[in-house]
A = this chain, B = another copy of it.
Amino acid sequence: YTPYPGSCSSANDSMWTFFTDVAGQDGEVDAEELQKCLTESGISGSYSPFSLETCRIMIAMLDRDNTGKMGFNEFKELWAAINAWKQNFLNTDQDRSGSVEHHEFSQAIAIMGYRLSPQTLNAIVQRYSKNGRIFFDDYVACCVKLRALTDFFRRRDHLQQGSVNFMYEDFLQGTMKI
């Protein structure tokens, strides 16, 4: 035991302190708390801070028990994921315009392993871009949604045939929360 905060503590211990600060009394992190801590931590760098909507989507991605909140392990997982997306965004923005344009997005999506038609790519870019540019916040929201919807589809595509028979309520439960 030392009286100095942070001394002798592993990265995991600092993360725990950070988490308990953010989580507050209920010991879990909801979308508002996540947005506040992401903004204060400066993790977006020079990019715009994350919108509340993107924070909700990020939580929905990891929230296996459907509480809308994250415990410590989910929080750590998300933190690592955000850093990975930031690196991914930097790599994708090859012309350093500060945003991802259509051709950069197509390449990035292919590298992530998706095989999408030009029509699907157009629909996605149109939805997540402003004047043809996808900014960091929307890029992350888009990648998270694409991954979450693909995971949801894949879990039901038992024969891996690229087609799934959905019942209405199951379809709604999977898509409304993302």
Binding site for B on A (CB under 8 A): 31-32, 51-53, 56, 60, 66-68, 116-117, 119-120, 122-124, 126-127, 130, 142, 145-146, 149-150, 153, 157, 162-169, 171-173, 175-178
Contact = CB atoms under 8 A, between A and B. Distances in A.
Contacts of A149: 171-172, 175-176
8 contacts: A51-B51, A51-B53, A68-B126, A116-B172, A119-B173, A120-B169, A149-B172, A175-B178
Interface-central residue, A66, A68, A120, A171, by most chain B CB under 10 Å = A171
Label chain A's interface by main secondary structure: helix
A67 B31 CA distance: 30
Given A53-B51, A60-B127, A171 B176 contact: no
Contacts of A145: 176
Given A51-B52, A153-B171, 14 more contacts: A51-B53, A60-B127, A68-B127, A120-B169, A120-B173, A123-B176, A127-B177, A157-B168, A162-B168, A163-B167, A163-B168, A164-B168, A165-B165, A165-B166
A127 B175 contact: no
Nearest to A174: B175
A119 B173 CA distance: 9
